[in-house]
Each structure stands twice: as C-alpha cells, then as structure tokens.
Structure 1
C-alpha cells in the first residue's frame, strides 16, 4: 500500500490549538480542520456577543486555515458543528449559510460543554 502524504497546516491568522491537535492536517488532497471555536486569534479569548458572533469568528478562523492550505470555502464538502446548546441551532445555521456554497453537508451535534465551564 502506498503511504499517504500528511502535512500539518498552521497559520497565525487563526487561534492556535488549545489541545493536543493541529489546526489542520492535509492528507493527500483532503484537509481536516479541527477544534475551531469563536476565538480571537490575537487574544485567544472567545469573541463577545454570543453564539452568532462566535460562529462568525469560528468560520473566519476556518477561512484563514483554508487559505493557508491554498483553498477556500468553495472546496468544503462537509462540516461538523458542535453546539453546547441545540437551541442555538437556528442562529448558527443562519451564520453558516452566509459562508457556505449551498452544497456543503452540515452535521450538528450538541456537546453540552462550553469553553471555560466544567
């Protein structure tokens, strides 16, 4: 079996990982972006303004990572969104619609956990 080429993708224009993972990994011709929250890349803090602003920032961060990998949102075929509260689904979905191409599969799960809570 041929070995796959893996390349870690990283940019200072998105927050660094807050755990043992990379911002993204490119495997062959597929990029896997991980752990993007609505964090400001400069302060490392969640942006103020609630879930809509956090979603916008998370998507902005993802856009910067995609750019660092030489692609953009038109290349995205699937996104998995973890929500702390499923009641935020409609708000996040409206934000997401502004960034997607209309062809992206969106999977939403409720994690029940928020950054900074136990």
Structure 2
C-alpha cells in the first residue's frame, strides 16, 4: 500500500514541499505544526501559551483529517526556542492530552519557521 497524503483546510497549508501528514498501514506521521492561523496564514499573536494552543489545535485538525484524534497520538516532538518556557508548554499540553500520555521529546532550537516560538509534530496510530 503506497503512502497516502492527509490534508485539511482546518490546519495551515504546507509552506514547503511536504504533506501535512502521510498515512500508511495504520500509522500517520504528522508534519510539524507551528502556530499559524489557518485562516490568515500568520503566526498568532500572544505569548508561548497562545502559540502552543494554536499549534496543538492545528495538530488536532490534521489528526481528525486522518481519521483519528489526539488520543491516538503515540509520540510527540516538541520544539521550543526558549526552554525556559517548558512549564507553560507542559500546562497547555495537559489541556489537550490525558494519561496515558504519548511518548515525547522536547528539544530547544535556535529558531523555527516564520519566527514561531513553538512547533509540534506527532505519530498517530489508527486501529
């Protein structure tokens, strides 16, 4: 079975040569979501919490387009330009995910596309 691209207008369109997600054999690999408003294509205004919420909302929209939910996420990758904001991002993440939580890595990065402070990617498993 070849890989199947996943697309939704409820999340920002890809800003490069990639798919929002790719599905194959019940696994869905979601590309990184930054806090772009899908209606405007602009980074949302506000602090790290506002940016994290928008990015998680975008991630949820792609999960749903693939036929899943955030409860089906088995792994997350979080990327922050300031690891001093780790606690705020954890708090926002707890609004979107419940135990048992997905496996996760959190990585401090020098910069992200479009000047974002936060990015999230994921792997989703569908039954």
Same fold (TM over 0.5): yes
Equivalent residue for 2:26? Answer: 29
Equivalent residue for 2:112? Answer: 114
Q: Verify: 1:58 aligned to 2:55, yes or no.
A: yes
Q: Secondary structure at the match of 2:50?
A: helix
In the TM superposition, structure 1's runs of 4+ consecutive aligned residues that sit over 6 Å from their partners are: none
Equivalent residue for 2:78? Answer: 81
Q: Verify: 1:68 aligned to 2:85, yes or no.
A: no
Q: Verify: 1:101 aligned to 2:98, yes or no.
A: yes
5+ residue gaps, structure 2, are 116-127
Give the aligned length.
114
TM-score, length-normalised on structure 1? 0.90
Structure richer in strand, relative to its length: 2
Q: CA RMSD in A?
A: 1.2
**C-alpha distance 8-86 of structure 1, shift in aligned 2 (>3 A):** same
Inter-partner Cα distance in structure 2 for 1:25 and 1:116: 23
Which protein, 1 or 2, shows the higher relative CO under an 8 Å CA cutoff with sep ≥ 6? 2
Q: For the Cα contact (< 8 Å) 1:25–1:33, is it kept in 2?
A: yes
